[in-house]
Structure 1
Amino acid sequence: MDEVVEYLRSGDPAIRWQVLRDLTDASADDIARERARVADEGWGAQLLAEQSADGRWDGGTYRPGWADESRPFFDAWTATHFSLQQLMDFGIDPGDPRVRAAIARVRENVRWEHDNEPYFEGETEPCINGTALAVAAYFGEDGHAIAETLLASQLPDGGWNCWDEDGTSASSFHSTICALEGLWAWEQSGTVQDPDAAATTRRRGEEYLLERSLLRRVSNGALIDPRFGMASYPVRWYFDYLRALEYFRLARPEGDPRCGEAVALLRSAQLPMGLWSLELTHEGPRLFSFEQEGEGRPSRWVTLRALRVLRWADSWA
């Protein structure tokens, strides 16, 4: 275990500070000192530097180069929305003056391609709105408009679906995990006007995933999608079992036995040297890669996330 932690600590500051916080007994001062480096060096500084003066990354909000008709319409991870999600994942200090300036440029200038809505007022799809709400909460922005849209779009089965048109669709794991992450972060911000109602909605969404053991159909117990059982990073808008376990680690610190199958799967995926591999990559252009990680290779990101999930699981399982 000590060797694994030291291996993780030899990575980028975005990983190092989270290792100190989640896997060691480091002091608050040491954690804060390491976190401050995220905006100064490595991936965090590199990503901050990619923002243009108009507040956007790569010329778009959800899609890069939106006004450039020569660029194809496909999943790409270089535009503003996913860049903000990545800065949040890095754990960059939202109070850093450079970060505050970057977020101010987003707030003042960035509009959704959907209908020219300001970024922090959200769009229509719950998978997009969930991440945007988490971003708003993380960076201290007003996300009430996004939250209201999410609360109003919950489906009868408890989850969310970006493809729903009339409120009658079955929910999607992808949309649901994004919505849950956003709602949980919004509640933690302390700005929710009706926290009991918000928590009730979120709990209903959690039950949608837990009733399915994070992996399986209610109807016949079959695995919904083999990719749900593969650890990915960055997660973007996609569901996988490790992403769900990371969510429940935070939202249900007391644990839940219905996470047991997913926790067992995570334990079984550990490599002999104590690391975990990146099992799935969500294809699409990106601004940069992480330490030459690729599918099937040991991953600092997946290992960090797996170890802190298992710390949580060991406290209740």
Structure 2
Amino acid sequence: MARYNLRPPSNLQGLPMTDSNAVIDWLLGADPAIRWQAMRDLLDAPESAWQAERAKVEHEGWGARLLSAQDPDGQWDGGAFVPAGFDSQQWKQHGQPWTATCFALTQLREFGLDPACERARRTVELVGAHSRWDEGGQPYWAGEVEECINGRTVADGAYFGVDVSAIVARLLGERLDDGGWNCERCNGSRCSSFATTLNVLEGLLEYERASGGSAQSRQARRAGEEYLLRRHLFRRLSTGEPADPRFLQFLHPNRWRYDVLRALDYFRDAALLSGSEPDQRLHEAVEHLRGRRSPDGTWPLDWSPGGRVWFDMDDGPGRPSRWLTLRALRVLKWWDGAGVASLGTGS
């Protein structure tokens, strides 16, 4: 395969050059879902080159494998959120399953399946016609009831060209006074959740990318970002202590769960869309990310959610993860390239 900008950018040179090259080669030798993103985000390859690689997601590797598991009616495993026939006892014994439609769509978005390709367009149509949410039988693209699920549904729908403005309007009305969101709001919670807030932010960002958003959605997204930034992505506002030790551990796939790498990748994506500079309050999380790099230049998987999956994409906890390494390197390239690493943690 051709290499573009063979020397890694200077802000990827925290390791000896040979190691940086080896890590890039390792990513380029991966599944097309990782390869095209490494070409675009790390090597600044021409768009024609990374788009050609991206097109392979539909027909090769993980993307093709996941698409091959699709039901004739467009769903995966017979359900929107939970597989058909999967009961509470199985959930208790084996953990939450990840094989139903909503998780498959999010995974295809992460892979970068071209929304304009025939298979993606057909999937959107079939899911809209046949899939109903387990909770209340709502049509899939009308959204569910939980903010966490609806945030991801907005992200998936906007990415694949669906009009999700009605779900966005609902989410805007569910924002809490502290600026974020919480799936437990309906049970009385008045404090936002890191995880729910990030799920919604990712959805609002994808909606804004697809449609331009609205003044209200952009304002809500900024307020949600401020909720996370005031907490430096992982600290309690009340005590300054980490809100959850697992926020500092890296997992993949995240599903609905939160960690600081996922949050940093979001803030990078948001800054690139808006043309804004990185916020200095990300500094502490960035330095934690930098400190987690292994001597060989990769980032290891700390854990992954248990439960039924179609297939694994990493070699297990403690082993180098291509997904984490890709995301970490593009975050550091963005951060270091902006020249804000020495600004400190801010306030």
How would you bin the TM-score normalised by the shorter chain? Answer: over 0.9
Partner of 2:294: 271
1:36-75 alignment runs, 5 A limit: 36-65=55-84, 67=85, 69=87, 72-73=90-91, 74-75=95-96
The alpha-carbon distance between structure 1 residues 234 and 166, as it changes in their structure 2 partners (threshold 3 A), is: closer
Partner of 2:320: 298
Partner of 1:190: 211
Contact 2:234–2:242 at 8 Å: present in 1 too?
Answer: yes
Larger RCO, structure (CA 8 Å, separation 6 or more):
2
Question: What amino acid is aligned across from residue 209 of structure 1 in structure 2?
Answer: L
Partner of 2:141: 120
Deviation (angstroms), 1:164: 1.2
Contact 2:58–2:113 at 8 Å: present in 1 too?
Answer: yes
Task: Find the partner of 1:34 among 38, 44, 53.
Answer: 53
Partner of 1:134: 155
Contact 1:13–1:35 at 8 Å: present in 2 too?
Answer: yes
Contact 1:120–1:132 at 8 Å: present in 2 too?
Answer: yes
Question: Structure 2: how far apart are the matches of 1:69 and 1:15?
Answer: 34
Instruction: Tell me, yes or no, if structure 1 residue 236 matches structure 2 residue 270.
Output: no
Instruction: Tell me, yes or no, if structure 1 residue 287 matches structure 2 residue 306.
Output: no
Question: Structure 2: how far apart are the matches of 1:168 and 1:53?
Answer: 40
Task: Find the partner of 2:329 among 302, 307, 311.
Answer: 307
1:155-194 alignment runs, 5 A limit: 155-165=176-186, 169-190=190-211, 192=213
Partner of 2:126: 105
Question: Structure 2: how far apart are the matches of 1:226 and 1:294?
Answer: 20
Give 5+ residue unaligned stretches, structure 2: 1-19, 341-347
The percentage of aligned residue pairs carrying the same residue is: 47
Deviation (angstroms), 1:167: 6.3
Give 5+ residue unaligned stretches, structure 1: none
The alpha-carbon distance between structure 1 residues 272 and 110, as it changes in their structure 2 partners (threshold 3 A), is: same
Deviation (angstroms), 1:72: 2.1
Question: Structure 2: how far apart are the matches of 1:82 and 1:166?
Answer: 25
Question: What amino acid is aligned across from residue 268 of structure 1 in structure 2?
Answer: G
Question: What amino acid is aligned across from residue 275 of structure 1 in structure 2?
Answer: T
Question: Structure 2: how far apart are the matches of 1:212 and 1:68?
Answer: 38
Contact 1:156–1:168 at 8 Å: present in 2 too?
Answer: no
Deviation (angstroms), 1:21: 0.6
1:76-115 alignment runs, 5 A limit: 76-115=97-136
Instruction: Tell me, yes or no, if structure 1 residue 219 matches structure 2 residue 238.
Output: yes
Contact 2:158–2:164 at 8 Å: present in 1 too?
Answer: yes
Question: Structure 1: how far apart are the matches of 2:133 and 2:172?
Answer: 20
Question: Structure 2: how far apart are the matches of 1:191 and 1:212?
Answer: 28
Question: Structure 1: how far apart are the matches of 2:48 and 2:158?
Answer: 24
Once superposed, what is the RMSD of the aligned Cα atoms?
A: 1.4
Contact 2:300–2:319 at 8 Å: present in 1 too?
Answer: yes
Question: Structure 1: how far apart are the matches of 2:109 and 2:262?
Answer: 15
Contact 1:124–1:149 at 8 Å: present in 2 too?
Answer: no
**Under a length normalisation based on structure 1, what TM-score does the superposition of the two structures give?**
0.96
Hey, which bits of structure 1, 4+ residues long, moved more than 3 A? 67-71
Question: Structure 2: how far apart are the matches of 1:217 and 1:63?
Answer: 32
Question: What amino acid is aligned across from residue 323 of structure 2 in structure 1?
Answer: W
Task: Indicate the SS of the match to 2:217.
Answer: helix
The alpha-carbon distance between structure 1 residues 211 and 46, as it changes in their structure 2 partners (threshold 3 A), is: same
Question: Structure 1: how far apart are the matches of 2:185 and 2:86?
Answer: 29
Deviation (angstroms), 1:148: 1.1
Cα deviations by residue, 1:9-32 (Å, 9 ceiling, x for unpaired)? 001000000011101131111111
Instruction: Tell me, yes or no, if structure 1 residue 261 matches structure 2 residue 284.
Output: yes
Aligned length: 313
Cα deviations by residue, 1:80-127 (Å, 9 ceiling, x for unpaired)? 000000000000111111221122111111111111111111011111
Deviation (angstroms), 1:188: 1.0
Instruction: Tell me, yes or no, if structure 1 residue 148 matches structure 2 residue 166.
Output: no
